[in-house]
Amino acid sequence: MINLYPTQIETISLHRVGNKNKSEGIFLSEEPFSLNDETTGLLKEYFFKPFREKEENYFKLTNDVDVEFNELYKIVSAIFDDPESMHANSKKIATHLFEQSNHPHIKSGEVYVAHLSNVMLDNVKTEAIGIFKSELKHDFLQFEERGNNLDIVIQQGININKLDKGCLIFNVNKEEGYKVLSVDSNRYDTKYWLENFLGVDPLADENFYTKNYLKFCQNFAKDVVLPAEDKQQEVLFMNRAVNHFAKNDAFEETNFLNEVLENPELVPEFKHYKEEKGPKYSIEDVSNFDIANKAVSDARKKIKNVINLDTNIQIKMDFINPESAEKFVEKGWDEERQMYYYLVYFNKEEKS
């Protein structure tokens, strides 16, 4: 888990890269940018806000032969080894980005390379290299007094509330390719940023396995539990699954199945589904791992505990404890009407 509130920008260098395909050039600043209190505060919010809001999906720098052949890995390692080389190496980073900027869709923009200190990663203080890019320009209004009149001047600039692209490379796990976080607001050129520039693969850590296993469970609920039973049981299965993850520090598949799958006939169905679909989520050979609490919280927010009925009625089963759903909601069949029904028990209506 990352905490960027105490993080400080030690040094920062600004450059501009164009689109090679459009014969646009590259501009490299001769000196690092001189920070003051005002610009530091604005840039920290501009750079770090997307990482506080985004689900933490970690990557690692990689290469088909060896990570040491990854261009960004070599440059970042040089900065960590010698922080005084920061600005010279920031030019190499901007040049490397420029060399990948040859697709017609890629936009020119400013590149910010920052050396960051006091980054809290999993409650341990470390340093990081931040690489950020602003691409989209927005019109904004300025006002000038001219004689006795107030005139409007239209100018263009960036929206500091929305970072276009960014990554944080933490000085941990060097031998494996460091630990990397990335954000990208403009999805049309993700390959250019993640694959061509960064050269990363997903990092198979506890966050990766927790997130992917819960995604797998969600699809199992939709593809197997729902057809075999009903929507209520699909919702209850996912509630039990998330609650199991929430109350345990480590995952063990046999314990999970015993606690979460109340219908024993679904156990072989689960194992068969894992053999078939597991590779898609990179969990085919995974049955034990540490649980990442942040990934569990993110998954809980995305689960839809709503039963939509064809009579234009919705039942929202917002239960932390899934046993409450079975206690207070019953499903039945009305012979006279030839329709299913849900019977809901309650003490009083809550005020909205």
Question: Of 203, 218, 236, which marks where a domain is finished?
Answer: 203
* pLDDT range class, residue 262, cuts 50, 70, 90: confident
Mean pLDDT value across residues 315-342:
74
Does the residue 49 lie in any domain?
yes
How many structural domains are present in the chain?
2
Tell me what the pLDDT averaged over the chain comes to. 89
Is 331 in the same domain as 184? no
Q: What share of the chain has pLDDT > 70, as a percent?
A: 96
55 or 318, higher pLDDT: 55
Least confident among 6-20, 95-109, 166-180 = 95-109
* pLDDT range class, residue 326, cuts 50, 70, 90: low
Does the structure show a pLDDT above 70 at 350? yes
> What sign for the dihedral angle of Cα 248, 253, 255, 259?
positive
Q: What is the pLDDT of residues 109-141, one digit of tens each?
A: 999 999 999 999 988 999 999 999 999 888 888
Q: What is the pLDDT of residues 292-310, one digit of tens each?
A: 888 888 888 777 777 778 8
Q: Which residues pair with 169 in a beta bridge?
A: 129, 180
Q: Write down the pLDDT at residue 283.
A: 92
Is 57 in the same domain as 143? yes
Does the residue 352 lie in any domain?
no
Q: Which residues pair with 13 in a beta bridge?
A: 113
Is 22 in the same domain as 155? yes
Is 196 in the same domain as 257? no
Is 116 in the same domain as 175? yes
Does the residue 41 lie in any domain?
yes
Does the structure show a pLDDT above 80 at 160? yes
* pLDDT range class, residue 32, cuts 50, 70, 90: very high
Is 122 in the same domain as 179? yes
Is 15 in the same domain as 73? yes
Q: How far apart are CA 6 and CA 22, in angstroms?
A: 41
Is 180 in the same domain as 320? no
Does the residue 350 lie in any domain?
no
Does the residue 327 lie in any domain?
yes
Does the residue 13 lie in any domain?
yes
Give the rounded distance of the alpha carbon of 177 from its chain centre. 19
Is 48 in the same domain as 107? yes
Q: What is the pLDDT of residues 229-247, one digit of tens each?
A: 888 888 888 888 998 999 9
User: Which structural domain, as residue segments, surrounds residue 197?
Assistant: 2-203
Whether the full predicted model's pTM is greater than 0.85, yes or no, is no
Q: Write down the pLDDT at residue 194.
A: 92
Q: Write down the pLDDT at residue 71.
A: 95
Question: Of 203, 227, 260, which marks where a domain is finished?
Answer: 203
Is 245 in the same domain as 331? yes
* pLDDT range class, residue 351, cuts 50, 70, 90: confident
Mean pLDDT value across residues 277-292:
92
Does the structure show a pLDDT above 90 at 20? no
Is 191 in the same domain as 298? no
Q: Write down the pLDDT at residue 85.
A: 97
Q: Write down the pLDDT at residue 170.
A: 97
Q: Write down the pLDDT at residue 324.
A: 63
Mean pLDDT value across residues 159-186:
92
Does the structure show a pLDDT above 60 at 208? yes
Q: Write down the pLDDT at residue 303.
A: 74
Question: Of 182, 203, 224, which marks where a domain is finished?
Answer: 203
Q: Write down the pLDDT at residue 136.
A: 85
Q: Write down the pLDDT at residue 320.
A: 58
CA angle 194, 106, 192 (to 5 degrees): 15
Is 95 in the same domain as 221? no
Task: Enter the tokens of residue 243.
Answer: 């609650």
Mean pLDDT value across residues 306-334:
73
Does the structure show a pLDDT above 70 at 102? yes
Instruction: Let me know: does 125 contact 118? Beta carbons within 8 Å.
Output: yes
Q: Look at strands 329-334 and 138-146 and give their pairing.
A: unpaired
